[in-house]
Amino acid sequence: MMRSIDAEHYLLEACLQRDKVPSFGKYPFSIPAVRNLETLTFHPAVTFLVGENGAGKSTLLEAIAVAFGFNPEGGSKNFNFSTRDSHSQLAGFLKLIKSIKRPKDGYFLRAESFYNVATEIDRLDEGPGGAPIKKSYGGDSLHEQSHGESFFTLLLNRFRGKGLYILDEPEAALSPTRQMAMIARMHELVQDRSQFIIATHSPIIMAYPVAQIYLIDTKGITPISYTDTEHFTVTRDFLNKHEKFIKELLSN
């Protein structure tokens, strides 16, 4: 096991103000990630949120990002645009406990709306002003790159360190090799006093050892070890006996 890293701890906890919730029978308060939420404590380096589709990982992550001051569709705190007002009201019911340290950088990445962020960057660069924003993203328009290339460009060029980075399903854009490269880049940023909060399904990304993993299911939010996650066990069993699994899956 890798030794603990003396990372910065910008965001300590997210607390649901349960006394202000109008009804736990209605969305977003009815979803597993929120229904039993009281206080979620973040690891100083990396916190992973894992669980089945529909558990509410993305909804909770989005609310944390919005409560911290990020644009609901993603980007840095300087982004202020909206292509569709689809985020939940959950952020207004969260109380974030922050440390006295303030991040010098920050970013909220949503895989599903990264296209909109790239479009906004191009729009801003076409207007009058100073240096093009895309210089902070490697120099080229993100729309001129593949989804995976543009996201990895973001990691390498826009994430500058000493920051808080909130990522929603980053593996959606990355091949397995790129996911491993992401772990290496994430480690560099953690060593440069950065903190990550990540919702993911990737057994590769969540293998990063200096982290806390939380499983979100019908019971609520529970700490879990990497090798106890379904993502690890199912992937391991499938790869070890893939022919048997495929035969059973296709037998019907």
Q: What is the pLDDT of residues 25-50, one digit of tens each?
A: 999 999 989 998 999 999 999 999 99
| Three-point CA angle 117, 118, 122, nearest 5° | 115
Separation between Cα atoms, residue 168 and residue 135, nearest integer Å: 24
Separation between Cα atoms, residue 110 and residue 70, nearest integer Å: 11
Give the tens place of pLDDT for each residue, 143-157.
Answer: 555 656 777 788 888
Separation between Cα atoms, residue 68 and residue 99, nearest integer Å: 13
Roughly what angle, to the nearest 10 degrees, separates helices 242-250 and 230-240? 100
pTM recorded for the entire structure: 0.85
Spell out the domains of the chain, with CATH numbers in brackets. Answer: 11-224 (3.40.50.300)
Separation between Cα atoms, residue 246 and residue 233, nearest integer Å: 16
Separation between Cα atoms, residue 185 and residue 227, nearest integer Å: 23
Determine the average pLDDT of the residues in 205-222. Answer: 94
Taken in order 192, 197, 202, 208, is the CA torsion positive or negative? positive
> 46-51 and 94-98: which strand pairing?
unpaired
Strand order in the sheet with 163-168: 105-110, 163-168, 195-199, 46-51, 211-217, 220-223
